């Protein structure tokens, strides 16, 4: 089975079963980030691929932590 890594998010893209991995030149969608990739497969190997439409949004871990800390402070104030 051919596995490719999404160029946008880095996750493994599962190719649909109907794709002929011996000879395929078309588009696939990353199940994780929904980016559209163009893939060319020959004899079960990736010949080339590129991002057609990048839907990956960078995850901002620092913002998440700050938001959670702010919510915790608000809850502590409400409990007092």
Per-residue pLDDT tens for 9-25? 889 998 888 899 999 99
What's the confidence (pLDDT) of residue 58? 61
pLDDT digits (tens, 9 = 90+) for 22-61: 999 999 999 988 899 999 999 989 989 898 888 776 656 6
Distances (CA, A) of 4 to 17, 49, 56, 60, 73: 14, 9, 16, 25, 43
Contact 43, 68 (CB under 8 A): no
What's the confidence (pLDDT) of residue 32? 87
What's the confidence (pLDDT) of residue 60? 61
Provide the residue ranges of all domains of the chain, joining segments of one domain with +.
4-79
pTM score, two decimals? 0.63
């Amino acid at each position: 089975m051919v596995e490719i890594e999404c160029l946008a998010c880095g996750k493994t893209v599962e190719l649909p079963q109907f794709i002929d991995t011996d000879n395929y030149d078309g588009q696939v969608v990353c199940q994780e980030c929904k980016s559209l990739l163009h893939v060319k497969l020959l004899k079960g190997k990736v010949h080339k691929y590129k991002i057609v439409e990048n839907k990956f949004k960078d995850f901002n871990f620092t913002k998440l932590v700050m938001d959670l800390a702010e919510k915790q402070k608000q809850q502590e104030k409400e409990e007092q």
